[in-house]
Chains A and B, each alone.
Chain A
Amino acid sequence: MSAVLAPLRRWPSRQPLLFLILAAAAWFGLYQTLMPAADALVAALPVERDSRLGGALQFFFYDTPKVLLLLTGIVFVMGMINSYFTPERTRALLAGRSEGAANVMAASLGIVTPFCSCSAVPLFIGFVQAGVPLGVTFSFLISAPMVNEVALTLLFAMFGWNVALLYLGLGLSVAIVAGWVIGRLKMEAYLEDWVRDMPHATAAVGEDRLSLGERLDSGFAAVREIVGKVWPYILVGIAIGAGIHGYVPADFMASFMGRDVWWAVPLAVVIGVPMYTNAAGVIPIVQALLAKGAALGTVLAFMMSVIALSFPEMVILRKVLKLRLIATFVGVVATGILIVGYVFNAVL
């Protein structure tokens, strides 16, 4: 990947605007030619178009470039947007605010602030240290990994914009409400002592005026890092999806993950906790479940649980939070996800 981008990387920095216009045009052109190209490719193969194999192949050849193209475009744009929202700036925006509106802000900033779950703990301490209220910090920590551009892009590419928007709205709601509830519970005493004793830090932001060219570089770096990491998951996911499209009976999952099965939602949440993967890793499973009659609410609850509540993350959080606060965090977030699952299954 980097070998392909290396020669390209010099001129965009010098003529960023021109590059953006050309890249956008090329991107749309490619996107428009996908469907005919997939059709032509499958037609050229010695396979009957209407056969099971033909359907699966067409699905695979159309979806793979579509998803990768969408993901590359969106990750690039988000990489540029991310360069405006450093964790330091987000912290400065949130420090000293009172709860309520700040929870909404924190959850929304969670979408655009670059976040790696490995940084969850330093970020947590940094926020608390600068006087960001505990509940507001949690709103950010819940939203940042769960509502991100990779999850939203994949949902959009595979299930359409309405599912993506629903996920966005519900993810934000869970983060806002769960953070607010944790704030109301006044659990500051359950931070580990050394965290509470840390000297107060001022949430100052340094001057960082990046040029458009430098922001382009952030976009390239994001594509290398994120798309470079998730493409194998996506390929496997689409292959599984293609296989299911052709071969598994349509109502296979409906009997035990359909909307009439009341215990399906809690079970999905419980199964999701020990599983730890990123959004790209869980989409293949989601794809498989949905295609075969599992209810949307149950599937979304499963996806949120896998991404937002993970056992390894709790082990790391244990270094800064006492057990009781971790248990509260898990309880509140799991309840939020349960409600989302049930409401969805009831409404749709």
Chain B
Amino acid sequence: MKEIKVLGTGCCGSCTTTVALIEQVAQAKGVAVNLQKIEDLKEVMRHGIMSTPGVVIDGKVVHAGGVPSRAKIEQWLAAA
């Protein structure tokens, strides 16, 4: 099971879009994920992210700034 966190400030729709997209891809590929949306600023900053939305998988920052592309998400989920 992958621990996936989407970090954002909760101000624009990009974070919600990112969460939905990851959910979609995970479902399509049948990968089990534990998906969390984090909007607490201190928690966001703890990961050192400066542009949102950021994506953290199993404690590692894999993406920052803008909605990630579907191809990129597929790559993350494939590298299990």
Write the residues of chain A forming the contact surface with B, with a CB cutoff of 8 angstroms.
86-88, 91, 114, 116-119, 121-123, 125-127, 129, 194, 198, 201, 221, 225, 312, 316, 319-320
A residues within 8 A CB of B44? 122
Contact A119 B45 (CB under 8 A): no
Whether, in the assembled complex, B21 has its beta carbon less than 8 Å from a beta carbon of chain A, the answer is no
B1-18 residues at the A interface, CB under 8 angstroms:
8-9, 11-12, 14
B69, closest chain A residue (CB): A221
By size class, the interface of chain B is 10 to 19
> What CA separation (Å) do A86 and B65 show in the bound complex?
9
Write the residues of chain B forming the contact surface with A, with a CB cutoff of 8 angstroms.
8-9, 11-12, 14, 41-42, 44-45, 48-52, 65-67, 69
Question: Chain B binding site: helix, strand, loop or mixed by DSSP?
Answer: loop
Contact A221 B9 (CB under 8 A): no
Query: Using a Cβ cutoff of 8 Å, how many contacts connect chains A and B?
Result: 59
- Within the complex, which residue of A86, A119, A127, A319 is in contact with B52, where a contact is CB–CB below 8 Å? A119
Contact A126 B45 (CB under 8 A): yes
Question: Chain A binding site: helix, strand, loop or mixed by DSSP?
Answer: helix
- Within the complex, which residue of B12, B45, B66, B67 is in contact with A122, where a contact is CB–CB below 8 Å? B45
Query: Chain A nearest CB: distance from B64 CB in Å?
Result: 8
Contact B65 A320 (CB under 8 A): no
10 closest residue pairs by CB, A with B: A126-B50, A118-B11, A118-B12, A87-B50, A119-B51, A123-B50, A119-B52, A122-B50, A87-B51, A125-B45
A199, closest chain B residue (CB): B46
Contact B49 A122 (CB under 8 A): yes
B residues within 8 A CB of A87? 50-51, 65
A82, closest chain B residue (CB): B65
Given contacts A121-B9, A121-B41, A198-B45, contact A114 B51 (CB under 8 A): yes
Contact A118 B45 (CB under 8 A): no
> What CA separation (Å) do A87 and B48 show in the bound complex?
12
Most buried by B among A88, A91, A118: A118
